[in-house]
Amino acid sequence: MAKYIYQYDSWPNFTWEEGEIQSILGKVRHLQGKIFGQINALGFSVKEETMLTTLTLDVLKSSEIEGELLNYEQVRSSIARKLGLEYTGMVYPDRNVEGIVEMMLDAIQNYQEPLKEERLFGWHAALFPTGRSGMYKIDVGNYRKGEMQIVSGAMGKEKIHYQAPPAEQVKPEMDKLIEWFNNDTKLDYVVKSAIAHFWFIIIHPFDDGNGRIARTISDLLLARSDNSSQRFYSLSNQILTERKVYYEILQRVQYKAGDITEWVTWYLNCLYRALKNTEETINKVLNKADFWDKHKNTELNARQRLMLNKLLDGFTGKLKTSKWAKITKCSQDTALRDIKDLIEKGVLRQENSRGRSTNYELIYNIA
For residue 85, the SS3 value is coil
Q: What is the pTM of this model?
A: 0.86
The length of the chain in residues reads: 367
Q: What is the pLDDT of residue 338?
A: 97
Contact partners, residue 113, CB within 8 Å, separation at least 6? 119
Q: What is the pLDDT of residue 161?
A: 87
Q: Which fold has domain 298-362?
A: Arc Repressor Mutant, subunit A (1.10.10)
- Same CATH topology for 5-287 and 298-362: the answer is no
Domain ranges of the chain: 5-287, 298-362
- Between the CA of residue 284 and those of 9, 39, 310, 314, what are the distances in Å? 51, 12, 12, 8
User: From first to last of its 367 residues, what are the pLDDT tens digits of the chain?
Assistant: 789 999 999 999 999 999 999 999 999 999 999 999 988 888 888 888 889 999 999 999 999 999 999 999 999 999 999 999 877 788 999 999 999 999 999 999 999 999 999 999 999 999 999 999 989 999 999 999 999 988 877 777 888 889 999 999 999 999 999 999 999 989 999 999 999 999 999 999 999 999 999 999 999 999 999 999 999 999 999 999 999 999 999 999 999 999 999 999 999 999 999 999 999 888 887 888 889 989 999 999 999 999 999 998 878 888 999 999 999 999 999 999 999 999 999 999 998 876 677 999 999 754 3
Q: How far apart are CA 218 and CA 192, in angstroms?
A: 8
> Are the C-beta atoms of 52 and 76 separated by less than 8 Å?
yes
Rama region for 329: left / alpha / beta (φ>0; ψ in -120 to 50; rest): left
Q: How far apart are CA 281 and CA 313, in angstroms?
A: 9
State the amino acid at position 121 in one-letter form.
F
- 182 C-beta neighbours (distance < 10 Å), count: 12
Q: How far apart are CA 364 and CA 367, in angstroms?
A: 10
Q: What is the pLDDT of residue 5?
A: 97
Q: How far apart are CA 289 and CA 300, in angstroms?
A: 16
> Are the C-beta atoms of 189 and 77 separated by less than 8 Å?
no
How far from each other are the two terminal CA atoms of the chain, in whole angstroms?
69
Q: What is the pLDDT of residue 367?
A: 39
CATH architecture of 5-287: Orthogonal Bundle (1.10)
Give the chain's radius of gyration (CA, Å). 25
Beta bridge partners of 272: none
Q: What is the pLDDT of residue 145?
A: 96
Q: How far apart are CA 191 and CA 17, in angstroms?
A: 12
Q: What sign for the dihedral angle of Cα 236, 12, 223, 35?
A: negative
Instruction: Give the strand pairing for 149-152 and 360-362.
Output: unpaired
Helix or strand (DSSP H, E) at 46: helix 44-65
Q: Among residues 125, 166, 162, 119, which one has the least CA distance to residue 147?
A: 166
For residue 309, the SS3 value is helix
Q: How far apart are CA 157 and CA 175, in angstroms?
A: 36
Q: What is the pLDDT of residue 85?
A: 87
